Amino acid sequence: VRISSLKPTLVSIPLPLIYFCGHFRRQLHISEKSEWCILCIYFLKMESCNKICRLCFNKCDRNFEAIEKITMDILDVLLIKINVVSKEPVMCTNCAEIIQNCFEFKSTCLCTHNYIVRFVNEKENSKLDLREIYLSKKGHEDIEVSKADTVCGFCMSLLKSPFLSLDNKDEDVTLVKMMINKCFPELLSLARIL
């Protein structure tokens, strides 16, 4: 790389940095070519480190992922709308992990929903017993489900501990229902029959 070819980048380098490098060069008796090398290396290093996550707007130092077509499709499934106008949009690894977990959770919920819907026509207007559906899905005769046990309508897990019932009128339940309405509108029809 020829130093003279790097000079046009001066336009995008902050002016105080240029003055600092000029002063630095004079103090240490560095040649103009070396000054340009130092300035360009510094600028390229800053450019690679100054990525901003398009989801949380935090600075991504060196840990980031490019937002590509597949990521946009996942965000679309999660009903997250972002307008990607930057040249190379990125997201931090924390947001990437959260998005992956949300996508896996929603996929699990939709698979469970599709499985349960098959039983809706058989039961017509009566309430579904998720314990029966759970046993049918697991297909094991040796599994015992008592009347005290509850099956999660989102992931088909057997719950032995306290759970959050969507029939409650508590403030927490109302918040969860609002989140389901916003993030999982596909599951609203299922909540009515459970």
User: Cα 113 from chain centroid?
Assistant: 22
Number of domains in the chain: 1
Neighbour tally for 109: CB within 10 Å: 21
Helix, strand, coil % in the chain, rounded to nearest 5:
60, 10, 35
In a domain? residue 25: yes
* More confident of the two residues 148 and 18: 148
Please give the DSSP secondary-structure letter assigned to residue 89: -
Phi, psi values for residue 116, rounded to 5° = -70, -35
Q: Is residue 37 part of a domain?
A: yes
Best CA proximity match to 104, nearest among 82, 71, 74: 74
Distance, CA of 156 to CA of 115 (rounded, Å)? 10
Q: Is residue 39 part of a domain?
A: yes
Q: What is the mean pLDDT of residues 180-184?
A: 76
Is residue 16 situated within a structural domain?
A: yes
Is there a domain that residue 175 lies in? no
**Portion of the chain with pLDDT greater than 90, in percent:** 0
d(CA 77, CA 104): 11
pTM: 0.59
Q: Is there a domain that residue 115 lies in?
A: no
172 neighbors 164 (Cβ within 8 angstroms):
yes
Round to whole Å and give the CA distance between 58 and 54: 8
Q: What value does the mean pLDDT take over residues 31-54?
A: 59
Residue showing tokens 């098959």: 118
Of 64-68, 118-122, 155-159, the poorest mean pLDDT is in 118-122
Residue 40 has pLDDT above 80, yes or no: no
Q: How confident is the model at residue 8 (pLDDT cuts 50, 70, 90)?
A: very low
CA dihedral (110, 115, 121, 124) in degrees, to 10, reads -80
User: Is residue 33 within 8 Å of 3, Cβ to Cβ?
Assistant: yes
How far apart are the C-alpha atoms of 73 and 77, rounded to whole Å?
Answer: 6
- 3-class state of residue 135 by DSSP: helix
12/126: higher pLDDT: 126
3-state DSSP assignment of residue 187:
helix
The answer to whether 65 touches 90, Cβ cutoff 8 Å, is yes
Q: How confident is the model at residue 38 (pLDDT cuts 50, 70, 90)?
A: low
Q: Are 90 and 55 in contact (CB under 8 A)?
A: no
Query: For residue 41, what are the domain limits?
Result: 1-49
